[in-house]
Chain A
Amino acid sequence: MPASPVDMSRYILGRILQLVPVLWLISTIIFVVMHMLPGDPAELMLAGAEGGAITPERLAELKREMGLDDPLLVQYLRFLANAAVGDLGDSVRFRLPVAELIADRFGSTFALSLCGLAISVAVGVPLGMVGAMRQNSAADTLTMALSYVGASMPVYWLGLLLILFFSFNLGWFPPAGADDWRSLVLPSTTIGLVAAGLIARLVRSSMIEVLREDYIRTGHAKGLSAAAVLWRHGLKNAMIPVITMIGLQFGGMLAGAVVTETVFSRPGVGRLVVNAILAKDYPLVQGCVIFLALVYLSVNLLVDIAYAWLDPRIRYGR
Chain B
Amino acid sequence: MATFPAELNEAEAEPVRRAPSVLSRFLRSRSAVAGTVMLGAWVFVALAAPLLAPYDPTETVALARRPPTAAHWFGTDLLGRDLFSRVLFGSRISLQLGLISVALGALPGIALGLVAGYHAGLVDTLVSRFVDALLAFPSILLALVVIAALGPSIQNVMIAVGVASVPQYARLVRGSVLAIKQLPYVEAARVIGAPSLRVMWRHVLVNAYAPVLVLSTLQIGNAILVGSGLSFLGLGAQPPIPEWGLMSAEGREVLQRAWWISTFPGLAILSVVVASNLLGDGMRSAFDPKMRM
Interface residues of A (CB under 8 A from B): 21-22, 25-26, 29-30, 33-34, 36-37, 148-149, 151-157, 160-161, 163-164, 168, 251-252, 255-256, 258-259, 262-263, 273-274, 276-278, 282, 285, 289, 292-293, 296-297, 300
Contact = CB atoms under 8 A, between A and B. Distances in A.
A258 B233 contact: yes
A258 B140 contact: yes
A25 B229 contact: no
B98 to A, nearest CB: 13
Given A160-B255, A258-B233, A296 B138 contact: yes
B157 interface: no
Given A29-B133, A252-B138, A300-B136, A152 B145 contact: no
A160 B252 contact: yes
B248 A152 contact: no
Interface in B254-268: 255-256, 259, 262-263, 266
A255 B235 contact: no
A278 B149 CA distance: 11
B277 interface: yes
Contacts of B149: 33-34, 36-37
Contacts of A274: 144, 233-235
A273 B232 contact: no
Counting contact residues on chain B (CB < 8 A from A), the size range is 35 or more
Nearest to B135: A22
B138 A259 contact: no
B270 A30 contact: no
A207 to B, nearest CB: 17
B97 to A, nearest CB: 13
B256 A160 contact: no
Interface of B: 129-130, 132-134, 136-138, 140-141, 144-149, 152, 221, 225, 228-229, 232-235, 245, 248-249, 251-252, 255-256, 259, 262-263, 266, 269-270, 273-274, 277-278
Interface of chain B: mostly helix, strand, loop or mixed: helix
B288 to A, nearest CB: 15
A81 B125 CA distance: 26
A153 B266 CA distance: 8
A153 B229 CA distance: 11
A182 B233 CA distance: 24
B221 A156 contact: no
B130 A293 contact: no
Nearest to B147: A277
Given A256-B138, A259-B229, A274-B233, A161 B148 contact: no
A33 B147 CA distance: 10
6 contacts: A25-B133, A152-B221, A160-B266, A258-B233, A277-B148, A293-B141
A274 B229 CA distance: 12
B137 A26 contact: yes
